[in-house]
Structure 1
Amino acid sequence: MRKPPRENAKQAFALVLLVALTVGAIAGPTGLLAWAENAETLEQRKARIAVLTEERDALRNRVDLLDPNGADPDLVSELIREDLGVIHPDEIVITLDGE
Structure 2
Amino acid sequence: MKQALALAVLVFLTVAAIAGPTGLLSWAENAEALEQRKARIAVLKEKRDALRNRVELLDPEGADPDLVSELVRKDLGVIHPDEIVITLEDE
The TM-score range, normalised by the shorter chain, is 0.7 to 0.9
1:51 and 2:7 aligned: no
> Which residue does 1:13 correspond to in 2?
5
Give unpaired runs (5+ residues) of structure 1.
Answer: 1-8, 94-99
Amino acid at match of 1:91: I
Question: Among residues 2, 16, 19, which one is paired with 1:27 in the alignment?
Answer: 19
Report the CA distance shift for 1:67/1:24 in structure 2 as closer, same or farther (over 3 A).
same
Q: TM-score, normalised by structure 1?
A: 0.77
Number of aligned positions between the proteins: 85
Which of the residues 61, 71, 81 maps onto 1:69?
61
Q: Structure 2-normalised TM-score? A: 0.83
Deviations 1:11-36 (A, max 9, x none): 11111111111000000111111111
Cα gap change, 1:50 to 1:18, in 2 (>3 Å): same
Query: Are 2:33 and 1:41 aligned?
Result: yes
Find runs of 4+ consecutive structure 1 residues off by over 6 angstroms. none
Output the aligned Cα RMSD.
Answer: 2.1
Q: Tell me the percent identity.
A: 76
Structure having the higher Rg: 1
Residues in 2 aligned to 1:27 and 1:89: alpha-carbon distance in whole angstroms: 64
